[in-house]
A = this chain, B = another copy of it.
Amino acid sequence: MKNTFGNSVAVTLFGESHGEYIGAVIDGLASGITIDREYISHQLTLRRPSGKISTPRAEKDEFKIVSGVLNDKSTGTPITILIPNENVKSGDYSQIKTIARPSHADYTAECKYHGFQDYRGGGHFSGRITAALVAAGAICKFALEEKGIYIGTHVKRCATVQDRNFEDIFADIKSINQKSFAVFEESAGEKMKEAILAASADGDSVGGVLETAILGMPLGVGEPWFDTMEGMLSHMMFSIPAVKGIEFGAGFAISDMRGSKANDPFRMENGKVITETNNTGGINGGITNGMPIIFRTAIKPTPTIFKPQNTVNFQTMTEVVSEPKGRHDPAIVHRARVVQDAATAIVLCDSLALRFGTDWLTPTI
């Protein structure tokens, strides 16, 4: 339903790049969940631009929670998070409000909102809004960890440079969640940063691939049709601006395998059913099978670049050359990883509450 996602735990997003606040409402989350402000801050820090590989727009992201929390515990009623927009330069944008920046949403916003859209800094389409998603997701992610469900995302690929795959998933999630540039192999990370800086020096941008692992999901969550785990996760992930693809387990590579190679044989381990391989990414028939859920998203290069580009003025319906000024990110893949964590956490909380009831996340003493 448009800006609300979820059936039992639902998140509503609002705000514009240059408005007073952006924010989120989380509805339906169980009562008694610890709201750890430092944890939320840390997630916001991981998203925040820093150094030369990101936009110079520096936000403090000093969020406040104005409802649904008492004595640092969720009350069970809607939790509202507000994040003020502080470093706003609206003057940067006003001259170009009818110029459609290529592969941005300026033109489609015009088609949908008929000129009434907030054009300043991308308005409601700005990646800035993902800060609210991160804050909401951080609350969910923390709650999941208390129940033994862990989420971690690394930059699997950036500017054609590859990071290694997940290996010891528990240890990998633990370590990656502490890193500001989320790669397992530092050398790969250095090469990625160099490539980002090189693109930046050219006034250009790069993309990449994010890989997420989820550990500890209970068995039997998800539906056979429509509300499959893959369907719910993918529905959400395309809300991360720049995502153009998603794949689970072996993903597109599975389409070149034969069944005898692709199938994941079941076996017993310590009295539990597990699979030898995990080509289906922890999901069979739309339902969790207890193995780690693994998925990857394709992140396109940031569309804002500092090169002249052919485009149109959609008011005058004439062709013009766009020469973006202002601030931008030469890559967002390294920042988007924490957005992907947050988005994942929201989907899981919703699926779990729907499956096991609204109190399932409430800690028991």
Contact = CB atoms under 8 A, between A and B. Distances in A.
Contacts of A285: 104-105, 108-109, 125, 241
Interface stretch (A47-55, A62-70, A140-148, A184-192): A62-70
Given A3-B224, A73-B116, A354-B357, 10 more contacts: A1-B1, A3-B226, A12-B12, A16-B75, A31-B113, A109-B287, A207-B262, A234-B246, A244-B280, A267-B310
Interface string A303-333: 1110101111010011100000000000001
Contacts of A311: 265-267
A75 B123 contact: yes
A258 B66 contact: no
A237 to B, nearest CB: 8
Contacts of A73: 116
B238 A231 contact: yes
Interface stretch (A38-46, A173-181, A294-302): A294-302
Interface residues on A, range: 35 or more
A273 B316 CA distance: 11
Say how many copies of this protein the assembly contains: 4
Contacts of A310: 265-267, 276
A283 B104 CA distance: 10
A103 B14 contact: no
A56 interface: no
Interface-central residue, A225, A248, A333, A359, by most chain B CB under 10 Å: A225
A235 interface: yes
A165 interface: no
A67 B129 CA distance: 11
Contacts of A224: 3, 77, 105, 109, 124-125
Given A15-B80, A267-B312, A287-B112, A248 B254 contact: no
Contacts of A231: 234-239
Given A102-B264, A299-B255, A357-B357, A23 B80 contact: yes
Contacts of A256: 157, 159-160, 207
Contact of A13 (B3, B102, B117, B225): B225
Given A226-B1, A259-B305, A117 B76 contact: yes
A204 B260 contact: yes
A67 B116 contact: no
B226 A2 contact: yes
A60 interface: no
